[in-house]
Amino acid sequence: MKTDSVSVIIPTFNGLKLLQAHLPSIFSALRSGDQVLVADDASSDQTVAWLLQTYGLEKIVAATDYDVWQAELIQPLSFTFTLVINHQNLRFGATANRGVALAESPLVFLINSDVGLRTETLTHLVLHFQDPQVFAVGCHELEKTPDQSAKISGGKNRLWFGRGLFWHGRAPDYETGETAWASGGSAMFDRKKWLELGGFAEAYYPAYWEDVDLSYRARQQGWKVLFEAQAMVDHNHETTNQDVFGQPQIVKMSQRNARVFTWRNGNVAQKISFLFWFPYYWLRK
């Protein structure tokens, strides 16, 4: 295994159409010796059947709570295609953690199933890991505006504290450099460091803020969390969370996990401020 080989990890739930749309761009970005690992979170659509039939996968692991299927493909360079199938639905964080644990490469590139890659995306990201202090590098996400007239940028982030809570948002610029966190939807990580930190925390189940928390803990270890402007991806925002939870529930989950993040990571003064403001946020619910 090369020291710069990459396992592209794609957690998915009922994402057959998204995989069919975006896997070709992922294959085109691979280098020889890389891996694609699809982590299926107990989908009820035809995702598993389609992947098994299309790529000729063979079962190599039958565990208590998951199975692993695999094949060696050439499209046009040789790479490993792996399918991990959860027996029960675990949601994004735990599914991503399982994918990283089973990945074969020292670098893992975690992307949502609605993300398409450019040919040079991996190359731009891998270069940063020549620095042993780098934990993660986020991508420059390009997404279409609602009227489809233009593309706007994302992927570089900021984090701040105010009124008893941590808040996050997009950075004011998209130049290569440090970022507050690397998005779980399109970022490369040092697998060994990920495992050392324990990956995404279960406290954020079912979703949201887990990637902010992981990057925050990495920075506390003195590791670097970066953004690479040239590592572009196309993010189409078609994941299934909207269908599964609905927008009102997504807002509630995000707000709840902002409170979880603050209590887990805030210093003494920030926690005191959190307790002072807590009745206000409770009444607003």
pLDDT by residue (tens digit) across 161-217? 999 999 999 999 999 999 999 999 999 999 999 999 999 999 999 989 999 999 999
Is residue 102 within 8 A of residue 68, CB to CB? The reply is: yes
The pLDDT value recorded for residue 250 is 83
Amino acid at 199: G
Is residue 206 within 8 A of residue 256, CB to CB? The reply is: no
Residues forming a β-bridge with 141: 154, 233
DSSP reduced 3-state for 45: coil
The pLDDT value recorded for residue 239 is 62
Could you say which DSSP state residue 203 is in? G
Residue bearing tokens 């269908």: 243
Is residue 98 within 8 A of residue 90, CB to CB? The reply is: yes
pLDDT by residue (tens digit) across 112-142? 999 999 999 999 999 999 999 999 999 999 9
Q: What is the largest CA-CA distance in the chain?
A: 59
Task: Over range 222-235, report the average pLDDT.
Answer: 97
Amino acid at 109: F
Angle separating helix axes 247-265 and 210-220, nearest 10 degrees:
20
The pLDDT value recorded for residue 282 is 86
Is residue 224 within 8 A of residue 193, CB to CB? The reply is: no
pLDDT by residue (tens digit) across 44-59? 999 999 999 999 999 9
Is residue 14 within 8 A of residue 113, CB to CB? The reply is: no
Is residue 37 within 8 A of residue 102, CB to CB? The reply is: yes
Residues forming a β-bridge with 154: 141
d(CA 1, CA 33): 7
pLDDT by residue (tens digit) across 79-98? 999 999 999 999 999 999 99
Domains of the chain as residue ranges with CATH: 6-284 (3.90.550.10)
